[in-house]
Amino acid sequence: MVYTMKIYTDGGCRNNGYTNAKGAAAAVFKTRHRTLSYTRKLPSTESPSPTSQRAEITAIIIALEEALRRYRNLASDPYLSVTIYSDSRYAVNCMSEWIYKWSNNGWKNSMGNPVANQDLLRRASSLDDDLRDEGDVEYIWIPRSENFRADELCQEILDESDSDSDSDY
């Protein structure tokens, strides 16, 4: 038996590149019967500050964490087939191509510098490895128009944080 998961991810950042940046990430699991959503704010009080790239990788981390949690809660251990959709070419390329090169190269990029967002990418890589122990994981780029719900959730979180005067940021 194969247990299939289809997950749509998105990350967003307002004031990207500035000290007052606010970020959000979302993962949406689509099943035959319902849609489950998971979201997270990116704290701006931590270093490094939120960026669009960090938000996109965080969304993938959420998807991987929840996929593992859901799988581990099953009463059986079927073969796992996970497909993660993202409208971020950066995130998809990180997880399907570059992460293997970076890992083998001591987390240095082609210029010999430390890989950006390495903390998140290492976490995502570890989760990806755990899922691959149970089956397959595939990352697919989709146009933003096909990622409406995940994008909508990120925008809702960012809107809430904009209007929240006692923000967690």
E strand or H helix at 24: strand 22-30
User: Mean pLDDT in runs of 10 for the chain (169 residues)?
Assistant: 94 90 94 87 81 96 96 93 97 96 93 94 97 96 95 94 57
- Residue 165 is predicted with a pLDDT of 38
- Residue 31 is predicted with a pLDDT of 79
- Residue 19 is predicted with a pLDDT of 82
E strand or H helix at 2: strand 2-14
* Cβ contact 24:169 at 8 Å: no
CB burial of residue 109 (10 Å; 0-12, 13-18, 19+): middle
The full set of domains in the chain, from first to last, is: 2-163 (3.30.420.10)
pTM, two decimals, is 0.92
- Residue 164 is predicted with a pLDDT of 65
Strands 22-30 and 2-14: antiparallel
Between the two ends of the chain, the Cα-to-Cα distance in Å is 44
Which tokens hold the place of 106?
């001591």
- Residue 161 is predicted with a pLDDT of 82
- Residue 166 is predicted with a pLDDT of 45
Q: At what angle do helices 118-132 and 52-72 cross, to 10 degrees?
A: 30
Count Cα neighbours of 169 within 13 Å in the Cβ-side half-sphere: 24
